[in-house]
Structure 1
Amino acid sequence: MKRPIATLLLGLIGAGILLSLGVWQMQRLAWKEGILDEIESTIAGPAQPLPQVVSPDEQRYQPLALSGTIEEGELHVLVSVKRVGAGYRVIAPFQTNDGRRVLLDRGFVPVAKKGTPRRTGPAEVTGNLHWPDDRNSSTPENDVAGNTWFARDIGPMSEALQTEPLLVIAREVTPADPGLTPLPVDTSGIPNDHLQYAVTWFSLAAIWLAMTATLIWRQRRDTKGGR
């Protein structure tokens, strides 16, 4: 009888650990959903003026309404859009009516339309400030000479277009350029895999208990068979 009891204890301890990990992931899920809701509320909040003092942690996703001029010159950031395919984000200089000059992410064009002329001139822009984290260890270096960028590196881009190191992601531009599709900021690119992890831990706990029950059954059968 000692072997089944030891197996039962081991099974309960193991299942308890796995269940606690699943519960922890559910708690992380609630925390992450709260953060995502807060970000969505910020994105959709009332428009504010361009900040005079830059604080990325506090101003990330800050909504803006700008009046000014889309100027000549643009940078192309290679991206892939779901159900559309490869193309480029078009980053252009935008000068506000009060004389400030910032980066404007105008939106997406397919690869074939990279060289298509685009509308410049007076425009009204609604959008959000953003400091994207596009670059990781596998991101290639930008081909500045060929005007193909692989990450929205705000510092180098602002130097290339002679703007402040501020990036505005357009949600709507008036008048619109029919060749551009805005890619406004949202929370879709922020990973939230905690539910998947929780299901995995709970499933492992169930499998652990099933294996424990099977092992106890075999041990009891072998004990009875040996009598």
Structure 2
Amino acid sequence: MKRYIAPVLIGLIGSAVLISLGVWQVQRLAWKEAILAEIESGILAAPVPVPQSPDPADDQYLPVRVTGQPDPRELHFLVSTRKLGPGFRIITAFETDTGRRLLLDHGFVPTDAKTAPRPPQLLTVTGNLHWPEERDRFTPENDPETNYWYAREVPLLAKELNTEPTLVIAREITPADPSITPLPVDTTGIPNDHLGYAVTWFGLAACWLGMTALQLWRISRRNP
């Protein structure tokens, strides 16, 4: 019997550790889903005027409504969506009816409509404030000379277009431009991988127990 003690202890302790990690990830999944639900409800809340000095931490995703006119100059951000395919986000300066200059993300246009004329007109925009973090070591450098942009870095864009460092992502624009499809803020870009991690830990625990059972079977086949 002594020869079984060490494999049994190793099997039970190892599987217990792996199962506890899986349970922890399930708990983290419930926590993350609650956070995402709270963010989603905040995104879709009743819009308010843009704060005078919005804070990237406190006002992230704040629903706002603003009226004004976009500048003619556009910045084109390369993007690809599952439903719409490849194309460009259109971002302009937006001069409000109160005299502020903000950044406005109008939405998506297909590649062949990137340079289509879009005459400035008075717009009412309902959307959300956002300070995206899209740059990592794989992101190409923006190319202002050819108007190809890859990351919405709000301070850089504000300097480029002479605006406040405040970006409004349009959810609805009135009157609507049929050539532009808004890409509103949602929670799809917030990672939630806890279910996958939980399945991995539970799978490893099952493998650990299986290997332990195999080891015990091998020991039982040996001569005493």
Shorter-chain TM-score range = over 0.9
Equivalent residue number for residue 80 of structure 1: 80
**Cα distance, 1:5 vs structure 2:** 1.6
Structure 2 counterparts to residues 48-67 of structure 1, below 5 A = 48-67=48-67
Do the aligned partners of 2:109 and 2:180 also contact (CA within 8 Å) in 1?
A: yes
Does residue 193 of the first structure (1) align with residue 182 of the second (2)?
Answer: no
Equivalent residue number for residue 99 of structure 1: 99
State the SS of the aligned residue for 1:59.
coil
**Cα distance, 1:140 vs structure 2:** 1.2
In structure 2, distance between residues paired with 1:202 and 1:115: 52
In structure 2, distance between residues paired with 1:34 and 1:80: 28
Query: In angstroms, what is the RMSD of aligned CA positions?
Result: 1.1
Equivalent residue number for residue 16 of structure 1: 16
Do the aligned partners of 1:70 and 1:94 also contact (CA within 8 Å) in 2?
A: yes
Structure 2 counterparts to residues 46-195 of structure 1, below 5 A = 46-195=46-195
Deviates more, 1:30-39 or 1:178-187: 30-39
State the SS of the aligned residue for 1:35.
helix
**Cα distance, 1:113 vs structure 2:** 1.3
Do the aligned partners of 2:72 and 2:119 also contact (CA within 8 Å) in 1?
A: no
**Cα distance, 1:51 vs structure 2:** 1.1
**Cα distance, 1:198 vs structure 2:** 0.2
In structure 2, distance between residues paired with 1:157 and 1:145: 14
Summarize deviations over 1:78-105 as a string: whole Å, max 9, x none.
Answer: 1111133211100011111111110000
In structure 2, distance between residues paired with 1:82 and 1:136: 21
TM-score relative to the length of structure 2 = 0.97
In structure 2, distance between residues paired with 1:31 and 1:74: 40
TM-score relative to the length of structure 1 = 0.95
Residue 40 of structure 2 aligns with an amino acid whose one-letter code is E
Equivalent residue number for residue 5 of structure 2: 5
Residue 144 of structure 2 aligns with an amino acid whose one-letter code is V
Residue 140 of structure 2 aligns with an amino acid whose one-letter code is P
Does residue 216 of the first structure (1) align with residue 216 of the second (2)?
Answer: yes
Do the aligned partners of 2:134 and 2:152 also contact (CA within 8 Å) in 1?
A: yes
State the SS of the aligned residue for 1:26.
helix
Summarize deviations over 1:129-159 as a string: whole Å, max 9, x none.
Answer: 0000111111111101111111001112112
Provide structure 1 residue ranges, at least 5 long, that are not aligned to the other structure.
Answer: none
Do the aligned partners of 1:48 and 1:64 also contact (CA within 8 Å) in 2?
A: yes
Do the aligned partners of 1:72 and 1:120 also contact (CA within 8 Å) in 2?
A: yes
